[in-house]
Chains A and B, each alone.
Chain A
Amino acid sequence: KNQVEQSPQSLIILEGKNCTLQCNYTVSPFSNLRWYKQDTGRGPVSLTIMTFSENTKSNGRYTATLDADTKQSSLHITASQLSDSASYICVVSNDKIIFGKGTRLHILP
């Protein structure tokens, strides 16, 4: 069964600290993996996209990694800011688009 599992479900950190969010998937075949950021009450916005051959991709303070052998991805946020408070959704695609349930990140001042 095609599934995308994210952990942790929620995370609270202090402003300025780093954090890492995890995504494990069982989707096969695999086309690409995307991380979205969703602010409360808004639509998701794409942060990064990675294909099978890519191991890491950065977008400012966001760095995504992909291990296609173990079917795992992570999103690392460096020097967190209050505006990083949001849900982060991992999405894996083949001919379908499969969404994880997201990790809710709270940044405290």
Chain B
Amino acid sequence: DGGITQSPKYLFRKEGQNVTLSCEQNLNHDAMYWYRQDPGQGLRLIYYSQIVNDFQKGDIAEGYSVSREKKESFPLTVTSAQKNPTAFYLCASRPSLVYNEQFFGPGTRLTVL
């Protein structure tokens, strides 16, 4: 999975609890992304970060929060405000804005009970 790790692979939480998904990369990539994938749908962008200490909302940011305190790390918090949090979450990184290929992590499947 190209030097990008996500943990845990499976995560179960009770409704109403916040949960944080980890994403780490050792590729020295500038940009990092969080996507959500639901059955029968394309990947939808939650948040992205092009440099440390800066991030932008994607298409479905409501109910999520992120931080980018280090270049290697881009954790995603799924808050209780997210109405349908059960999904497969993918983290990706990209060397620079000039280079278009994204490298994906293995994903975290979040199930809210």
Selecting from B14-22, B64-72, B75-83, B103-111, the interface stretch reads B103-111
- What residue of chain A has the Cβ atom nearest to residue B44's Cβ? A99
Which B residues lie at the A interface, using CB under 8 A? 1, 4, 40-43, 45, 88, 90, 92, 100-107, 109
A7 interface hit (Cβ, 8 Å): no
The 3 closest A-B pairs by CB, nearest first: A43-B104, A99-B42, A101-B42
Cα distance A91–B90 in the bound complex, in angstroms: 15
Establish whether residues A46 and B101, one from each chain, have CB atoms under 8 Å apart when the complex forms: yes
Central interface residue in B1, B42, B45, B104, by most chain A CB within 10 Å? B42
Q: Which residues of B contact A45 (CB under 8 A)?
A: 104
Interface residues on A, range: 10 to 19
Given contacts A89-B42, A101-B40, 16 further A-B contacts (CB under 8 A): A31-B100, A32-B100, A34-B100, A34-B101, A41-B107, A42-B1, A42-B106, A43-B90, A43-B106, A44-B90, A44-B104, A45-B104, A49-B100, A97-B102, A99-B43, A100-B42
Q: Which residues of B contact A42 (CB under 8 A)?
A: 1, 106-107
A77 interface hit (Cβ, 8 Å): no
Cα distance A41–B105 in the bound complex, in angstroms: 11
Q: Which residues of B contact A21 (CB under 8 A)?
A: none
Cα distance A73–B4 in the bound complex, in angstroms: 29
Q: How many A-B residue pairs have CB under 8 A?
A: 40
- Least CB distance from A10 to B in Å reads 10
Q: Given contacts A43-B1, A43-B90, A43-B106, is CB(A4)–CB(B42) below 8 Å?
A: yes
Cα distance A93–B90 in the bound complex, in angstroms: 18
Cα distance A49–B101 in the bound complex, in angstroms: 8
Q: Given contacts A41-B109, A43-B1, is CB(A101)–CB(B104) below 8 Å?
A: no
Establish whether residues A93 and B41, one from each chain, have CB atoms under 8 Å apart when the complex forms: no
Q: Which residues of A contact B4 (CB under 8 A)?
A: 43
- Least CB distance from A100 to B in Å reads 6
Q: Which residues of B contact A43 (CB under 8 A)?
A: 1, 4, 90, 92, 104-107
Q: Which residues of B contact A34 (CB under 8 A)?
A: 100-101
Cα distance A42–B109 in the bound complex, in angstroms: 10
